[in-house]
Structure 1
Amino acid sequence: MTTHLALLRGINVSGHNMLKMDALKTTLEAIGFQNVQTYIQSGNVFVDTEEESTAAVAFTIKQEIFKAFGHEVPVVVIGKSDLEICFKNNPFLKEKDIDFKKLYVAFVSVVLRSDSINDLKISQFKPDEASIDGSRIYIKYAVGAGKTRFDQKYIEKKLNVTATIRNWNTVSQLLKMYE
């Protein structure tokens, strides 16, 4: 059995794509996922399955959400190691007096090239900062996530990927839940 973490993008935001976590849990259990557990309403779902492929799990969940609820919801599936790497490799954690409320991680659907940071043209968003590591983009917002154009839509458009962003508190809680 493999435990996967499905990160759903764009649900329960400003009254759009409303999806109750209890209903999602029941739906995913009905198609064979085990030990389904959700965390907050923003679409963080742990599932156990014999399937090891994160892409296959993401496709199954995305397809089932559309069938059951009629929502086209992008899904990025990660493992415990992805969250552990976040803590090990996030360059902003090394800064003195870091404000954790300004730290975010964008999880993307593919492993990015090391030069993908150039494609993002992050310098036009200064003083926001970003760093790429595999299938993660570490972000430090200067003011906050709600006051920048360097968001998930921008990342998806520039890199042609599916992306979903979580704040540092959520990333920390999800790792604790994995353990």
Structure 2
Amino acid sequence: MTIHVALLRAVNVGGTGKLPMAELKALCEACGFTRVRTYIASGNVVLASPGSAERVKAKLEAALARHAGKPIGVMVRTADELAQVLAAHPFPEAAPNRALVVFLDAPPPPDTLARVSHRTVEEIVLGRREIYVHYGEGMRDSRLRIPAAQAGTARNMNTVARLVEMAREAAAR
């Protein structure tokens, strides 16, 4: 069994993307995934599956589309891949709630940095299939636009660190 972390796009506690985490957990279990645990109400799931990350993604996206009546994007990383994302975090001195990673299905396009707009103090570093962003004094007043990030889903480094910990716990069970 491989431990995977699934990160849903546009899922939160309110609005059009509302999906209670109890429903998400039940949906994952109905897909045949085991050791399912969710983390905060923004679409974070740790699960075990014998299938590849691509297979987990396809199965979960199909189930979510049936459940929600519309497509919901999912980014999937194995526990090891997520740990590597955390280890590669290029802003270790930054407050973890002011630094985030945008998870993508593919490497960021070569023109990612050239297409960024409204950048002031924000720092941006491209990863393997991620975009790391440090917002300096915070996101509240930032008008930063990263077109390549629209295809992904973002999590702050506190959340990434907690998901890595949860994945390790799931692997030990």
TM-score of the two chains, using structure 2 as the length reference: 0.85
One of 146, 158, 168 as aligned partner of 1:169:
158
Unaligned runs of 5+ in 2: 169-173
RMSD of aligned Cα (Å): 2.1
Q: CA deviation at 1:31?
A: 2.2
Matched AA of 1:103: A
For the 8 Å contact 1:117–1:131, the answer to whether it is kept is: no
Matched AA of 1:73: I
For the 8 Å contact 1:17–1:71, the answer to whether it is kept is: no
Among all aligned residue pairs of Structure 1 and Structure 2, give the percentage whose two residues are the same amino acid: 30
For the 8 Å contact 2:102–2:149, the answer to whether it is kept is: no
Q: Which residue of 2 aligns with 1:112?
A: 108
Quick check: which one's helix share is greater? 1
Range that drifts further, 54-63 or 140-149? 140-149
Range that drifts further, 103-112 or 37-46? 103-112
**How many residues are matched?**
168
Q: Which residue of 1 aligns with 2:96?
A: 100
Matched AA of 1:20: P
For the residue of structure 2 that corresponds to 1:76, the secondary structure is: strand
Rounded Cα–Cα distance in structure 2 between residues aligned with 1:135 and 1:173 = 20
Q: Which residue of 1 aligns with 2:148?
A: 155
Cα offsets for 1:142-174 (capped at 9, x unmatched): 34234333357x3345xxxx3100011101111
Rounded Cα–Cα distance in structure 1 between residues aligned with 2:61 and 2:114 = 28
For the 8 Å contact 2:86–2:157, the answer to whether it is kept is: no
For the 8 Å contact 1:116–1:132, the answer to whether it is kept is: no
Q: Which residue of 2 aligns with 1:2?
A: 2
Unaligned runs of 5+ in 1: none
For the residue of structure 1 that corresponds to 2:121, the secondary structure is: coil
Q: Which residue of 2 aligns with 1:79?
A: 78
For the residue of structure 1 that corresponds to 2:48, the secondary structure is: strand
Q: CA deviation at 1:88?
A: 2.5
